[in-house]
Amino acid sequence: MATIHFRFYGPIRNVLKKDTLEYGVSPGQPLRDILLEIGVPQDRLVYTMVLVDDRKTDVAYIPSDGDRIDVFQPVGGGKR
């Protein structure tokens, strides 16, 4: 089992009610499944931005032991 380290920002942080999380994952488990498992609603994954060790990736990424994963959801709104 690998341990990954999450940091959450913006609306995702508000949904999960936490800033950070250390989480054990099974080998080969995609980040998308992990995010759903920890409580990120599926409809929020559409606009989620992910950095792994400061490099942009997406929710299809397969985490490795010790990865530092930053999870953002862009904030915006209003009419054009």
pLDDT at 1: 87
pLDDT band at 80 (very low <50, low <70, confident <90, very high): low
CA 48-54-57 angle, to 5 degrees, is 45
Mean confidence (pLDDT) of the chain: 91
**Domain-wise residue ranges, the chain:** 2-72
3-state secondary structure 1-38: CEEEEEEECHHHHHHHCCCEEEEEECCCCCHHHHHHHC
Is the pTM value of this prediction over 0.85? yes
Look at domain 2-72 and name its CATH class: alpha beta
Give tens-digit pLDDT for 8-30: 998 899 999 999 999 999 999 99
